[in-house]
Structure formats: C-alpha cells, structure tokens
Amino acid sequence: DVKVTQSSRYLVKRTGEKVFLECVQDMDHENMFWYRQDPGLGLRLIYFSYDVKMKEKGDIPEGYSVSREKKERFSLILESASTNQTSMYLCASSLRGHFMYEQYFGPGTRLTVT
C-alpha cells in the first residue's frame, strides 16, 4: 500500500512565523504535490515536484516555497505566515505522468495562523 505521511495533523502558528510542513512517501514516486483545501473552493495546487530539486508552480504559489532534497520528501514552507494561509494542507504523490496515474494523498495538516 502506498503511504503518504505528513508531519503534523494540527498546527497553530502566529502571524509572521516561518512554517515548515513535511511530507514523506514510501512508494518511490517521482511526483509530489502540495494542495490547500478551503470550503467552497475545493483543492488548489500550490506547487509540485517531478524530481529531486525540481519544482513547478501550481495555481496559487504566492506566499509559499518548497524544497525537495530527497525523492521521498517534499516540504512546503510558509516564509511569513499570514491569517489568510489558515487552511487544510494536503500532500500527494504519484508516478511520473501524474495526469495519467493515481494520486495518493496524505492525511492532511490543518494549519491555523493567529
């Protein structure tokens, strides 16, 4: 079974803090993704990576950066957290050619910025 794990289920941070969200997958997938999910807006792609040290902007990259130093690990960084980044963050992974293959999601991190 594919397993995608995220470092925290719940996180509370203050405005202006630097926040790191970690994601690890154990299936040797090439592609990894970060989404945020908000009521009424569905899932929106922040960034994705198709290989180590490679990254591509998604639909809403502003205010975020990512890091992929190892194939199994993909980190989302909020350089200076703001209240409008309060959201559910979901990590996913898939084989290369993600639009053809299944995406496997982690359990999510609910981030609250106060």
Verify binding: residue 12, another protein, rule CB under 8 A.
no
Q: How far is the CB of 61 from another protein (least distance, A)?
A: 15
Residue 100 identity (one-letter amino acid): M
Interface region with another protein, contact rule CB under 8 A, candidates 14-22, 65-73, 75-83, 103-111: 103-111
Residues with Cβ within 8 Å of residue 84, at least 6 apart in sequence: none
Verify binding: residue 104, another protein, rule CB under 8 A.
yes
Pairwise CA distance, residues 11 & 28, whole Å: 27
Out of 19, 46, 78, 90, point to the residue binding another protein (CB under 8 A): 90
- Ranges within 38-57 binding another protein (CB under 8 A): 40-45
**Sign (positive or negative) of CA dihedral 47, 108, 110, 13:** negative
Distances (CA, A) of 55 to 33, 50, 66: 10, 7, 7
Q: Are 76 and 64 in contact (CB under 8 A)?
A: yes
Site size toward another protein (CB under 8 A) is 22
Q: How far is the CB of 103 from another protein (least distance, A)?
A: 7
Verify binding: residue 103, another protein, rule CB under 8 A.
yes
Q: Which residues are near another protein by CB under 8 A?
A: 4, 40-45, 90, 92, 96-100, 102-108, 110
